[in-house]
Each structure stands twice: as structure tokens, then as C-alpha cells.
Amino acid sequence: MSPRFAPGERVRVADRWPAGHHRTPGYVKGRAGVVLSTHGSHGQPEVYASFGDGRPRQPLYRVRLGLRDLWLGYAGGDTLDIEIYEHWLEPA
């Protein structure tokens, strides 16, 4: 599967809360960041967790988010880099 997003593109982490296992931390849901890089296509951890085969494979991205966008009242300029699967990302 070809990546939908390119390095430098702004994306938003989907703000959804599916039942069961998912590997996207709640504190990044609904937040926007910038794609830093792509890391190939891999099986989905949500599918593996229920003893599935991981399909369909999803591109994996490293996304940078500003801590000011994550934590209310944060005054620094630090960032968080996180790896997120494509099915959790949408255009910002």
C-alpha cells in the first residue's frame, strides 16, 4: 500500500474511541502534527491483538506534535514524535 501522506504534510490523529484494543494514545487523539517520515507498511496491531493476520497492512508514519497542542498551559517549545498507522490519520 502506498502512503497517503508525505513528509511535511499536516495531519490530524482521528478522535475516535473504538471498543477493544487500540494502540493510539488518547492524549494525541484529535491533535494535529506534521509527518516527518514513513516507515513502510505493516500489519495492524489492533488486528494482531485479536489473533488476526494484521491485514490490511497499513503505512506507518512518524508524526511530530507540539507539546503546546497536547497539554493545556504548556509554555515550552518541545515536541513529541510518535509513530501512527495511516488508518488513524486524516488531513489537517
Q: What local confidence, expressed as pLDDT, does residue 44 receive?
A: 72
CA distance to 23, 39, 53, per residue, from 47 (Å): 11, 19, 7
Neighbours of 26 (CB within 10 A): 10
Q: What local confidence, expressed as pLDDT, does residue 77 receive?
A: 92
Average pLDDT over residues 8-17: 96
Is 86 within 8 Å of 59 (Cβ atoms)? yes
Please tell me what DSSP assigns to residue 70: H
Domain ranges across the chain: 10-91
For 10-91, which CATH class?
A: mainly beta
pTM: 0.86
Q: Which stretches does DSSP call E strand in the chain?
A: 10-13, 32-42, 58-66, 79-85, 89-91
Report how far residue 59's alpha carbon sits from residue 1's, in angstroms, rounded to the nearest whole number: 7
